[in-house]
Amino acid sequence: MCSLTFYSKSEMQIHSKSHTETKPHKCPHCSKTFANSSYLAQHIRIHSGAKPYSCNFCEKSFRQLSHLQQHTRIHSKMHTETIKPHKCPHCSKTFANTSYLAQHLRIHSGAKPYNCSYCQKAFRQLSHLQQHTRIHTGDRPYKCAHPGCEKAFTQLSNLQSHRRQHNKDKPFKCHNCHRAYTDAASLEVHLSTHTVKHAKVYTCTICSRAYTSETYLMKHMRKHNPPDLQQQVQAAAAAAAVAQAQAQAQAQAQAQAQAQAQAQAQAQASQASQQQQQQQPQPPHFQSPGAAPQGGGGGDSNPNPPPQCSFDLTPYKTAEHHKDICLTVTTSTIQVEHLASS
């Protein structure tokens, strides 16, 4: 009938009925039909988002009773090895039942038994295949119930993020500029604006529109619905990686050029300051005792040179200051000698 495989007989029996039984119960929101009203009721909760089965230990709720029963085991007072007796032989993880263990083992083995009938992609879990198939079929079972909004989505998580827009709930905040977003993907795209990744390097191969992240490019390319969507996105991501590397190299080169320009400007300023200091006139000073007379000898020299001062000229800035202090000291010396002789 189909190529799907299952790890338990009960799952296979339930699935096989979908090929043989009549399905008179039709969903009013999409084209799916069901064999009985209980299956239809469970399915309608996908569209409405209703989760009537609530956990008594925490705030989580579920659409199906079986999901609640599986969840309740987490809150059991029994030891972890008792409620999760199925241990992975490759790592330390344990699981409550064999089906969860079987799904986990595919991570180690790399097995992907669920193949897409539209493309060559394969998946480890049936739910992942179902989500992927909606890209090809255009099925959007998760519809917004807000008045006046007709948007629908392929995944429940996308619907939940969309509901936050109506409620103005933005729990994902940027730690750099404190901007807030409704989902983690939008925050991740925003965080890239604080780095070199701000450039729109993810380009659509069909219409040449560019985006800042692979997530936005994937959302855009779903509008084209190409048969090789994943391959085109991977090719665009590879081209984006090259563009990012080039942008980073260019940014580093610009930073080095700026540093060199600043160093050159500082060197020129220092050289100009030194030249300015050298051009300033030096203050006049008296000749210290015992020093050779300035200028050459011969007839041009003064035959009666002025007497040399025995005081240090260093503390005095001008000759006038030095003359005043010399006169004061000389007068004081005469007075002292006069007092001593009297």
Q: 169 phi and psi, to 5 degrees?
A: -95, 120
DSSP states of 16-83 as a string? Answer: HHHHHS---EE-SSSS-EESSHHHHHHHHHHHH----EE-SSSS-EESSHHHHHHHHGGG-SS-HHHH
How would you write the pLDDT of the chain (342 residues) with one tens digit per residue?
A: 666 665 556 667 666 766 666 777 888 888 888 877 777 888 888 887 778 888 877 778 888 887 888 887 776 654 455 567 888 999 988 888 888 888 899 889 989 999 999 898 899 888 888 888 888 888 888 888 888 888 888 888 888 878 877 777 777 788 777 788 877 777 777 776 666 545 666 778 778 787 767 777 777 877 777 666 666 677 777 777 777 677 677 767 777 777 787 788 778 777 777 777 776 655 554 444 444 444 444 455 555 555 555 555 555 445 555 555 555 555 555 554 545 555
Return the CATH number of the domain spanning residue range 48-73. 3.30.160
| Predicted pLDDT of residue 197 | 46
Domain range annotation of the chain = 48-73
Q: In this structure, what token pair is assigned to residue 323? A: 């003359």
Q: Which residue has the tokens 């409405």?
A: 48
Give the pLDDT of residue 89: 92
Q: What's the one-letter identity of residue 124? A: R
- At 290 the pLDDT is 47
| Alpha carbon 158 to chain centroid, angstroms | 21
- Supply the pLDDT for residue 286: 45
- pLDDT for 51 equals 82
> For residues 74 and 100, what is the distance between their CA atoms, to the nearest angstrom?
14
Q: What phi and psi, each to the nearest 5 degrees, are found at residue 301?
A: -75, 150
What kind and span of H or E run contains 105? helix 98-109
The whole-angstrom separation of Cα 107 and Cα 123 is 11
